[in-house]
Structure 1
Amino acid sequence: MASETTKVIAGIDTHADTHHVAIINEYGKPLADREFLAVGSGYRKILEFITGYGTVSAVGVEGTGTYGAELTRTLRGEGLTVLEVNRPNRAARRLKGKSDPLDAYQAAQSVLDGRSQSIPKAKDGPVECLRILRAGRASALKARTAAINQIKGLLVSAPDKLRAKYRSLGTPAMITALQRTRPSGHTADPEYVTLLTLKALAARCQSLAAEIAAADAALQEIVDTYAPMLCDLPGVGTEVASQLLVTVGDNPERLATEAQFASLVGVAPVPASSGKTTRHRLSRGGDRNANHALYQVVLVRMASCPRTKDYVNKRTNEGKSKREIMRCLKRYAAREIYLQITNPQPAPNNTDLRPLRTKLGITITTAASQLGQWPSIISRLERGLVRNDTLATRYRQWLAEQTAEIPSRVTA
């Protein structure tokens, strides 16, 4: 064993049943390696093994979100610095071969060289609950879609009596009608067996719909408790908010800057210049699910946010394509969302708008017409169901102008 003052770095190659641990000193010299069982007692032995060779500077772990998740929690719980290690370099594997000890040593070496600096997600709080709920919900959505497609596929070749009765219905009405049927007949009758199968598939669809609704309610409850102000941002609902929170993890402090968050969600601009051409392109890295969530935010804002519409018109006149404009908008949205996650700011209070409008005797239709909006949007803004700071400011200024005109009307 080495002295207590010796600084060591550990690398761990994780698997389903066993973990292989390797230790090197601060100069990269291999000290020891050993295999342990991937169970609670094995984790304690790993801790004793790596701390027995000196002061542990850091531990590089492969698969911190899968096979190494519980080990990561154990090591972090003991105050050790755990860094996430990507899979070994393929070129190095071709030259030096592959084995568990080699992978473990390479994990330790990547930490020493500074190639592995990512702090893994904590996976011990409400965001982990969001991730689990989303996984179950995604599975239920996929199964429901498959069941609906099977129903429609069976109706294509079903007897004309069934096909004529159900194919003209919309999907929800068709599923409800099929679930309420009472098939009768013999198992050798194709019409009876078809209807029996359609009823079973419809019942499955309704069961999965109830499962999805329960998951949505749980997601909403967690988001409202953990990050209630995130949904105050324009275009951000429960689905988008939960996905972005899952991408960040239970320890958002691991992202030091909003530029790191932009890179994580795949909206950091990537240089694509050549010769006399200077431009940037869309990033193809990062979490693609989070990138899709930002895409949904941008679509909503392009359709309903005046500030975003003005920006789109401005960049279009400059010759930018829609794809380039959306890349820029996703970058701006990522900056705003990162600031809201790390430093939550409540939405402005708009509860004063409706009482003031009512006091002035102005109908919501008149206000909507003056502001160039649908009455439903003004109503949702007054009730705090939608956030649009620019529209709220314009609305409040217009009401103030109407208030100022009242004395002049009375005098006249």
Structure 2
Amino acid sequence: MAVLIGVDAHKRTHTLVAVDEVGRKLAERTVQATSEGHLNAVQWAGQWSDVSFAVEDCRHMTRRLEQDLIKMGFRVIRVHTRFMATARRSGRQPGKSDPIDALAVAHAALREPDLPVAALDGPSRQVKLLFDHRHDLILERTKVINRLRWHVHELDPQLTIPPRGLRSYSTMDSVAAHLEGFSGTVARIADDLLARCRELTRQVNQLERELRDLVRILAPSLLAIPGCGVLSAAAIIGETATASRFRSKDAYARFTGTAPIPVWSGNNVKVRLNRGGNRTLNHALHTIAVTQARGSGRGKTYYDGLTARGKTRKEALRLLRRRLSDVVLRALLADERTRTQPATNTGQEAA
């Protein structure tokens, strides 16, 4: 009998609920969120022969559990939180508890056949960590710049700083030289904020250089797509994780949020914009689509053909994004095959 174990993960404990093929609850167990607790969960699951796990997609909360289960040979399905919430609302048992949530995770995994499957951490994990860290530093720098502008305005209302000028070292040097003529608490705070802004800019630029070196090695085919820069490629690699875990281009399009949602009844077929999916991936594809629409090549030709047939600019960009989703998936798969091919050839030569 095939058994699916839904997991409701927390910092201290994990609650597991086992269900059969039709979603009937078989048993439940709570273990510690440690490697020893994960081993206890595997030993408990050993009472069934064919077992898979489904976890709510809370990456940092469930990453150690996912890695331990995969290393022990189990298939781990990631369930988006919105699916779990829907399953819980439609359940027969009212309320909210760890066993109810774990059961909802299992039911959502049974109902949705195209959910992503977790894989062992690879180079894409490093890209995602660096990309997210760079994004956090940019947000912090924006806060620092906003505070700095208010203090500079208080010191000298006539000093004009370009809208994005404080991202460049030359503008920072100019502002620092101007602040040397002021004294007092406000001037000291402005100097501290300017120094912090300079340090954050240095870190952001360093992270971008690291990402450039990683992406050039991991995804040369992805970078070859017109309009795909280093940061867009890094976002795609980090959020996709492993392209081979998607069973088809349509499943990947649903993941990226580029697949339209059907909203029709009868003979009049209609679709609407998909506002779900991975928004970071969707934004990266949108950036590539806008760049291609403004440039030249096959993307520009496709975009112009759509607008010539009466499509609006937004509609044409959405259709171009959907086509780019397939192009990006093919490039990712090609790069993954290239990375694994040398290892395969080496093993054959050694044999």
**Alpha-carbon separation, structure 1, partners of 2:273 and 2:19:** 40
Match for residue 278 of structure 2? 287
Determine if contact 2:6/2:104 at 8 Å carries over to the other structure.
Answer: yes
Whole-angstrom CA distance in 2 between matches of 1:8 and 1:275: 39
Gaps of at least 5 residues in structure 1 are: 1-5, 186-190, 346-412
Change (3 A) 1:279 1:341: same
Paired residue for 1:21, among 8, 11, 16? Answer: 16
Cα-to-partner distance string for 1:8-39 (whole Å, 9 max, x where unaligned): 33222111111012234456554432211101
1:403 equivalent in structure 2 = none
Partner of 2:339: none
Distance 2:263 2:129 in 1: 37
RMSD between aligned residues: 2.6
Aligned to 1:261: 252
Q: Secondary structure of 1:36's match?
A: strand
Tell me which of 212, 215, 218 is aligned to 2:210: 218
Question: Is residue 144 from structure 1 mapped to residue 162 from structure 2 by the alignment?
Answer: no
Match among 128, 131, 141 for residue 131 of structure 1? 128
2:96 alignment partner AA: K
| Aligned: 1:57 with 2:51 | yes
Partners of 1:235 and 1:277 in 2: CA distance? 36
Whole-Å separation in 1 of the counterparts to 2:334 and 2:300: 27
Change (3 A) 1:183 1:292: same
* Higher relative contact order, structure no. (Cα contacts within 8 Å, ≥ 6 residues apart): 2
The offset of 1:145, in angstroms, is 1.3
Q: Distance in 1 between matches of 2:108 and 2:122?
A: 29
Q: Does residue 308 of structure 1 match 2:304?
A: no
Aligned residues: 328
2:119: which partner in 1?
122
1:174-323 correspondence to structure 2 within 5 Å: 174-179=171-176, 183=180, 191-249=183-241, 251-273=242-264, 278-323=269-314
- 1:102 equivalent among 100, 117, 131: 100
CA contact (8 A) 1:21 1:33 kept: yes
Residue aligned with 2:55, SS: strand
2:160 equivalent to 1:167: yes
Contact kept? 1:16, 1:38, Cα under 8 Å? yes
Q: What is the distance in 1 between the residues matched to 2:23 and 2:299?
A: 53
Letter paired with 1:202: L
Contact 1:265 1:287 in 2 (8 A): yes
Out of 47, 64, 70, the position equivalent to 1:70 is 64
Q: CA deviation at 1:182?
A: 7.6
- Answering whether residue 317 of structure 2 is matched by residue 326 of structure 1, we say yes
Q: CA deviation at 1:283?
A: 1.4
Q: Is the 8 A contact 1:7 1:26 kept in 2?
A: yes
Q: Which has the larger radius of gyration?
A: 1
User: Mean alpha-carbon deviation: is it higher for 101-110 or for 330-339?
Assistant: 101-110
Instruction: Report sequence identity in percent.
Output: 25
Alpha-carbon deviations, 1:54-106, whole Å to 9, x = none?
21331122235232211111111111111123424242368522211222233
CA distance in 2, matches of 1:226, 1:255: 19
CA contact (8 A) 1:181 1:199 kept: no
2:78 to 64, 77, 84: 84
TM-score by length of 2: 0.84
**1:340 and 2:335 matched:** no
Deviation at 1:243, TM superposition (A): 0.8
Q: Do the aligned partners of 1:229 and 1:340 also contact (CA within 8 Å) in 2?
A: yes
SS state at 2:52 partner: strand
Letter in 1 for 2:4: I
